[in-house]
C-alpha cells in the first residue's frame, strides 16, 4: 500500500480553495467512490491537492489517504470512515443543546405504508426531529452561526435575517447559545403564529409587506449595514448548501445503505434550494445518475409556506439537476397533510404535504419504477394550524363542525 491514513482534522490546506473546485473534486470522489492519495508536508496539503482535502472534509470522511514516496496511490472511500459520526450517542445522553442537535443526526427515515404501492416503497425523512425549529433549518442556522464564529473568532453581536419562520427559530436557538441578538424579518403572508414563536425564543420580529421572504433580502442587507449588524443570508450563503452535503445528503446515503434500499428517487420542495440542491448533487454523482431527483414548487399564483417557484431565483438549484419539477397547489398540499396525518398519524408541515402531493402526481403518471423513494419532510404541522383550520372550515378534508 503506497499510502497511510491520517485524521482529516489533523491536516490543513495552504489556502482556501474555491468552492467550485472543491465540488468538482467531490463529484469525482462520489462517482468513483475512491480518492487519490494526498501529498502533504508537516500536516499541510500540497497546493494541487488542497481541493481534494477540502472535498474529503465536506464529505465528512474521518480519515484521508496520505501518499508515501513519489508514486500515485488510490484509496477506497469506505477505508476513510465516511459515516463515522452518524451513530447515536450512548444512552442518548447529551451534554448541551448543540450536542443534542448534531448528536441526533441522522434524523429518522420512516416507511410510509399508506403511500407505498406495489413495488414502490416510500420513506419519509423526518426533519422535525431537530430541536430548535423542529425543522431542516436547524442545520442551516447552526452552519451559518458556527461558520461565522469560526471565520471571525467570535460570535456576532446582532444578526438580521429574512426568514419565513424556521431559519429564524433555528437562529434564535443559536442566539441563545452563543449570546447574540436576532432580528427576524418575516413576510406579511405567513401565519400569525410565527410572531409568537419567534418572540418566545427571544427574537425581535419585523413583519414586512411582502408575500415572499426573498423579496426582502435587499432591505434586510441595507438595514444590517446601517445598524452594524450581521446578515448571514441563508439564500446566498454557501454554508447552506455545504451543511446539507456534509450531513443531510450523506445521512440519506448511509440510511439507504444500512436499510438495503434500492433508492430510485428523492422528492422534496424547494425554497432557498439548499437541501434539495445538496441532495441532488450528492446522489446524482453517487448513483451515477440512477437516482432521480424530483423537486416540488407552488403552482403559478399559489403560495405555500417554505417553498417557492424556481423563477424567483435560487442560487444552487443547478447543482441538483432535477429530473422533474412538479407544480402543486396549496389545497393539494393541505389535503396531503391531512391524508398523512389520518393514515400514518404524522402531522407534517405544508411543504411536506406539497412534496407528498408531488410524489402522488408522479406515481399517478406512471413515472416511478419499482424501488424505494424518499420524501424529505422539512418540518411538522404545528406552525400551520391557521392554514389547516381555514382549509377544514372551508369544507376541505371533512371540515370543522361547531356547536352553539
CATH of residue 17: 3.90.1530.20
Looking at the structure of the chain, the number of domains it has is 3
What's the pLDDT tens digit per position in 228-249?
999 999 999 999 999 999 999 9
| 395: confidence class by pLDDT, cuts 50, 70, 90 | confident
> Are 259 and 270 contained in the same domain?
yes
> Are 289 and 379 contained in the same domain?
yes
Give the contacts of 371 (CB within 8 A, at least 6 positions apart): 119, 120, 121, 261, 262, 263, 264, 265
Does residue 198 lie within any of the structural domains?
A: yes
> Are 249 and 191 contained in the same domain?
no
> Are 45 and 152 contained in the same domain?
no
> Are 362 and 301 contained in the same domain?
yes
Residue 157, pLDDT above cutoff 60: yes
Residue 373, pLDDT above cutoff 90: yes
User: How much is the pTM?
Assistant: 0.96
User: What Å distances lie between residue 33 and 7, 82, 226, 240, 349, CA to CA?
Assistant: 18, 11, 48, 24, 35
Residue 338, pLDDT above cutoff 60: yes
What's the pLDDT tens digit per position in 269-313?
999 999 999 999 999 999 999 999 999 999 999 999 999 999 999
Mean pLDDT over residues 7-20, rounded?
Answer: 97
* Model pLDDT, residue 104: 93
| 89: confidence class by pLDDT, cuts 50, 70, 90 | confident
Residue 370, pLDDT above cutoff 80: yes
| 404: confidence class by pLDDT, cuts 50, 70, 90 | very low
> Are 232 and 243 contained in the same domain?
no
> Are 169 and 270 contained in the same domain?
no
> Are 195 and 343 contained in the same domain?
no
The answer to whether 202 touches 176, Cβ cutoff 8 Å, is yes
Does residue 69 lie within any of the structural domains?
A: yes
Domain that holds residue 286: 101-132+239-393
How many residues belong to the chain? 404
Q: Of 190, 210, 237, which closes a domain?
A: 237
> Are 201 and 333 contained in the same domain?
no
What's the pLDDT tens digit per position in 201-225?
999 999 999 999 999 999 999 999 9
> Are 262 and 306 contained in the same domain?
yes
> Are 313 and 381 contained in the same domain?
yes
- How far apart (Å, rounded) are the C-alpha atoms in residues 296 and 313? 15
CATH of residue 221: 3.40.50.1100
What's the pLDDT tens digit per position in 339-363?
999 999 999 999 999 999 999 999 9
Does residue 404 lie within any of the structural domains?
A: no
Does residue 45 lie within any of the structural domains?
A: yes
Does residue 261 lie within any of the structural domains?
A: yes
Query: Look-up: residue for cell 409568537?
Result: 196
- How far apart (Å, rounded) are the C-alpha atoms in residues 245 and 226? 34
Does residue 388 lie within any of the structural domains?
A: yes
| 71: confidence class by pLDDT, cuts 50, 70, 90 | confident
Q: Of 237, 254, 287, which closes a domain?
A: 237
> Are 264 and 178 contained in the same domain?
no
Of 35-39, 70-74, 83-87, 388-392, give the lowest mean pLDDT range.
70-74
What residues form DSSP beta bridges with 124? 110, 375
Query: What percent of the chain clears pLDDT 70, i.e. is strictly above it?
Result: 98
* Model pLDDT, residue 399: 52
Residue 155, pLDDT above cutoff 50: yes
Does residue 403 lie within any of the structural domains?
A: no
| 403: confidence class by pLDDT, cuts 50, 70, 90 | very low
The answer to whether 380 touches 348, Cβ cutoff 8 Å, is yes
Q: Of 204, 237, 270, which closes a domain?
A: 237
Amino acid at each position: 500500500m503506497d499510502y497511510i491514513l491520517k485524521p482529516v482534522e489533523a491536516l490543513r490546506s495552504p489556502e482556501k480553495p474555491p468552492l467550485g473546485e472543491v465540488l468538482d473534486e467531490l463529484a469525482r470522489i462520489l462517482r468513483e467512490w475512491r480518492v487519490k492519495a494526498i501529498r502533504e508536508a508537516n500536516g499541510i496539503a500540497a497546493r494541487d491537492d488542497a481541493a481534494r482535502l477540502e472535498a474529503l472534509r465536506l464529505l465528512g470522511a474521518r480519515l484521508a489517504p496520505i501518499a508515501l514516496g513519489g508514486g500515485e496511490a488510490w484509496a477506497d472511500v469506505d477505508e476513510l470512515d465516511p459515516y463515522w459520526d452518524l451513530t447515536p450517542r450512548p444512552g442518548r445522553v447529551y451534554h448541551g443543546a448543540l450536542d443534542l442537535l448534531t448528536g441526533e443526526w441522522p434524523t429518522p427515515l420512516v416507511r410510509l405504508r399508506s403511500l407505498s404501492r406495489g413495488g414502490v416503497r416510500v420513506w419519509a425523512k423526518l426533519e422535525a426531529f431537530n430541536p430548535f425549529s423542529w425543522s431542516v433549518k436547524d442545520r442551516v442556522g447552526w452552519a451559518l452561526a458556527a461558520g461565522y464564529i469560526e471565520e471571525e473568532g467570535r460570535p456576532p453581536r446582532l444578526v438580521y435575517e429574512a426568514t419565513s419562520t424556521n431559519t429564524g427559530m433555528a437562529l434564535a436557538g443559536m442566539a441563545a447559545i452563543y449570546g447574540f441578538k436576532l432580528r427576524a424579518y418575516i413576510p406579511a403572508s405567513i401565519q400569525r403564529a410565527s410572531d409568537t414563536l419567534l418572540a418566545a425564543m427571544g427574537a425581535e420580529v419585523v413583519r414586512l409587506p411582502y408575500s415572499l421572504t426573498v423579496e426582502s433580502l435587499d432591505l434586510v442587507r441595507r438595514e444590517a449595514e446601517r445598524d452594524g449588524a450581521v446578515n448571514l443570508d441563508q439564500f446566498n450563503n454557501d454554508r447552506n448548501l455545504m451543511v446539507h452535503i456534509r450531513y443531510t445528503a450523506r445521512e440519506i446515503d448511509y440510511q439507504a445503505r444500512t436499510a438495503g434500499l434500492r433508492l430510485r428517487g428523492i422528492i422534496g420542495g424547494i425554497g432557498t434550494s439548499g437541501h434539495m440542491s445538496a441532495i441532488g448533487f450528492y446522489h446524482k454523482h453517487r448513483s451515477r445518475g440512477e437516482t432521480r431527483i424530483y423537486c416540488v414548487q407552488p403552482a403559478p399564483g399559489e403560495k405555500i409556506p417554505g417553498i417557492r417557484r424556481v423563477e424567483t431565483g435560487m442560487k444552487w438549484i443547478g447543482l441538483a439537476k432535477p429530473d422533474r419539477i412538479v407544480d402543486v397547489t396549496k389545497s393539494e398540499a393541505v389535503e396531503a397533510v391531512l391524508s398523512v396525518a389520518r393514515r400514518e398519524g404524522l402531522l407534517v408541515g405544508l411543504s411536506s404535504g406539497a412534496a407528498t402531493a408531488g410524489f402522488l402526481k408522479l406515481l399517478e403518471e406512471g413515472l416511478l419504477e419499482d424501488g424505494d423513494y424518499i420524501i424529505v419532510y422539512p418540518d411538522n404541522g404545528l406552525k400551520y394550524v391557521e392554514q389547516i383550520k381555514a382549509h377544514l372550515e372551508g369544507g376541505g378534508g371533512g371540515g370543522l363542525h361547531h356547536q352553539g
